[in-house]
């Protein structure tokens, strides 16, 4: 059957689903468990050509498409390495790195993270970054709809008459993915990525690896530890996904925590009324936010240098990142102040281009869906979503519908169920794992870290009490970073008793300043540095 014919049939099937046959889509069938030893690919290292880090080496690794059939089709994983420079007697092996996503590139991490800890420790490890299967520089690079995030997109609010447009858009995206990538998508789960990590281990020729993962990387790390506990030497999980919560329910927790962070932003802005002139109480600031969004519904703003317009969906996407990183708050408050008090859209355009404008294609969104949609039985009935999400929106209106439509393709995803599933995490056979968590983290809420600590015997939980960052290491907090460094140096762990082994103070809130637009930013597409874990939207 030709690809065009298969795509047409898939679109027809999805159209039927939109018409109400959602509940009739069967979950994918189970695959047999993969054997532990699936053979060993080869890593042939060559210079990456990075002038800033000339010692950085790159390679491509062949891994099985389907680990249940290790002798079958292979795909390629892009891997890089910053080699250890300490004497051989002091070297501690490779540390694999993952920033989250699902699907975000880890290739920036070896050079960046190794430079943020003392060199007497950093020099003892081989720092290993990689691009998860199907993403970035790994091959193939999955793209389902390069224009899915193009502006201006339908309004997120269900009361604005755009639900049908979003349902069709989400269904079409799932159909496009299935039509083009039906061989790969069922094999992009967290379990598949964890098995890729073990393929990297074997190719490196070592018995054990160390691991650092943030956000979804904590799910990846705990899954690897469950599958291959004897291959773990040390493991650090930063901003932790709960070990047994469904992705649907996890997103609801995110909605409520993002509302708390938005409320905190509004209160912070109100305390700085002399700077932003948006009101002296949080409720007034939130009304001003709604006022700007309503105005953009009527008259979307120019998004240049990004193409398209900034409507309400693009506006919301520009602001939700404040729940990841509160250092964005001054720019966010400036956006509102400039728009309402000066009729100036330049700060909005700069913030949108920095935080929310889409890239050349749909980025890691296929990988995000392939993980989240396929690892749980998502509700397939729009009427259920509409009722359930309205209940959440009643208490968390800032982010609920934004997040709902971001995940709506899971209503139509053809590879649902727990075929590869989220493994039950028990920690059996693992060495002590070090966990880091901020109590006010919105993308990976605090209860997930507590649950992971309980699931991993011997683990230690380090908490930044009152902290609002997502992924809290490597941000200049000595209390956190010194604990991480001590663990990497010789396995030392904090000794506090009870659930929390060590408590660190939160960083100070940012100073309220009006962020004057840089004229250069209006002619050059602004971008976040690649070391910012929020440069790409994901879970996160």
Which residues are tagged catalytic? 215, 441, 470
d(CA 371, CA 408): 14
DSSP-based three-state secondary structure for 264: helix
* Encoded tokens for 289: 């936010």
Q: What is the DSSP letter of 16?
A: H
Q: How far apart are the first and last CA of the chain?
A: 38
Residues 6+ apart with CB under 8 A from 130: 77, 78, 79, 80, 96, 97, 98, 106, 107, 138, 196, 197, 200
- The total of other beta-carbon atoms located within 10 Å of residue 292's CB is 20
Joined together, the tokens standing for residue 273 give: 């009324």
Task: Dump the DSSP string for 104-167.
Answer: ---TTHHHHHHTTS-HHHHTTSEEEEEPPTTSTTSBS---S-TTTTPSSPPPS-GGGT-HHHHH
Q: Could you give phi then psi for residue 399, rounded to 5 degrees? A: -125, -15
Instruction: Give how far Cα 534 sits from Cα of 214, 306, 530, Å.
Output: 11, 19, 9
Which residue shows structure tokens 């209860």? 447
β-sheet bridge partners, residue 209: 232
| 386: number of Cβ within 10 Å | 12
Between CA 10 and CA 172 the distance in angstroms is 9
The CA-atom distances, in angstroms, between 489 and each of 41, 59, 65, 84 are 30, 27, 36, 14
CA gap 24, 515 in Å, rounded? 52
Rg of the chain (C-alpha set): 23
260-278: buried (b, 16+ CB within 10 Å) or exposed (e) per residue?
bbbbbbbebbbbbbebbbb
Q: Other CB atoms closer than 10 Å to residue 51's CB: what's the count?
A: 6
Whether 527 and 356 have beta carbons less than 8 Å apart is answered as: no
């Amino acid at each position: 059957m030709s690809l065009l014919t298969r795509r047409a049939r898939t679109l027809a099937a999805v159209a039927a689903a939109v018409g109400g046959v959602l509940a009739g889509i069967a979950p994918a069938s189970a695959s047999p468990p993969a054997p532990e030893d699936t053979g060993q690919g080869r890593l042939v290292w060559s210079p990456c050509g990075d002038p800033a880090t000339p010692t950085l080496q790159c390679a491509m690794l062949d891994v099985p498409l389907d680990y249940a059939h290790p002798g079958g089709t292979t795909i390629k994983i892009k891997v890089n390495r910053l080699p250890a420079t300490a004497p051989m007697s002091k070297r501690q092996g490779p540390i694999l790195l993952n920033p989250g996503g699902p699907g975000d590139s880890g290739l920036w991490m070896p050079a960046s993270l190794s430079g943020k800890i003392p060199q007497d420790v950093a020099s003892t490890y081989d720092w290993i970054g990689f691009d998860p299967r199907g993403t970035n520089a790994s091959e193939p690079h999955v793209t389902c709809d390069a224009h899915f995030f193009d502006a201006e997109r339908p309004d997120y609010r269900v009361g604005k008459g755009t639900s049908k447009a979003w349902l069709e858009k989400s269904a079409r995206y799932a159909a496009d993915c299935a039509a083009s990538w039906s061989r790969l998508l069922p094999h992009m789960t967290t379990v598949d990525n964890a098995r890729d990590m073990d393929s990297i281990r074997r190719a490196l020729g070592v018995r054990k690896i160390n691991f650092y993962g943030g956000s979804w990387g904590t799910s990846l790390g705990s899954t690897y530890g469950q599958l291959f506990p004897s291959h773990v030497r040390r493991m650090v999980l930063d901003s932790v996904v709960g070990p047994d919560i469904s992705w649907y329910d996890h997103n609801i927790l995110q909605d409520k925590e993002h509302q708390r962070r938005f409320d905190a932003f509004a209160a912070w802005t109100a305390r700085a009324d002399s700077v932003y002139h948006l009101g002296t109480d949080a409720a007034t600031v939130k009304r001003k936010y709604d006022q700007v969004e309503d105005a953009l519904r009527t008259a979307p703003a120019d998004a240049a240098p990004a193409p398209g317009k900034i409507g309400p969906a693009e506006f919301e996407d520009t602001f939700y990142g404040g729940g990841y990183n509160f250092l964005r708050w001054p720019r966010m408050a400036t956006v509102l102040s400039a728009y309402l008090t000066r009729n100036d859209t330049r700060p909005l355009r700069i913030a949108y281009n920095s935080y929310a404008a889409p890239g050349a294609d749909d980025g890691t969104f296929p990988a995000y869906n392939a993980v989240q949609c396929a690892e749980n039985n998502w509700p397939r009935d729009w009427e259920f979503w509409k009722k359930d999400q309205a209940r959440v929106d009643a208490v968390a209106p800032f982010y609920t519908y934004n997040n709902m439509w971001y995940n709506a393709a899971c209503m139509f995803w053809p590879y649902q169920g727990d075929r590869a599933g989220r493994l039950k995490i028990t920690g059996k056979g693992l060495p002590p794992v070090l966990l880091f968590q901020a109590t006010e983290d919105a993308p990976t809420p605090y209860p997930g870290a507590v649950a992971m600590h309980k699931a991993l015997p011997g683990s230690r939980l380090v908490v930044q009490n009152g902290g609002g960052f997502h992924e809290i290491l490597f941000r200049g907090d000595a209390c956190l970073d010194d604990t991480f460094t001590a663990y990497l140096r010789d396995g030392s762990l904090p000794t506090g008793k009870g659930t929390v082994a060590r408590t660190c103070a939160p960083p100070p809130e940012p100073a309220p300043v009006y962020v004057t637009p840089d004229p250069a930013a209006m002619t050059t597409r602004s971008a976040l540095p690649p070391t910012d874990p929020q440069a790409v939207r994901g879970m996160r």
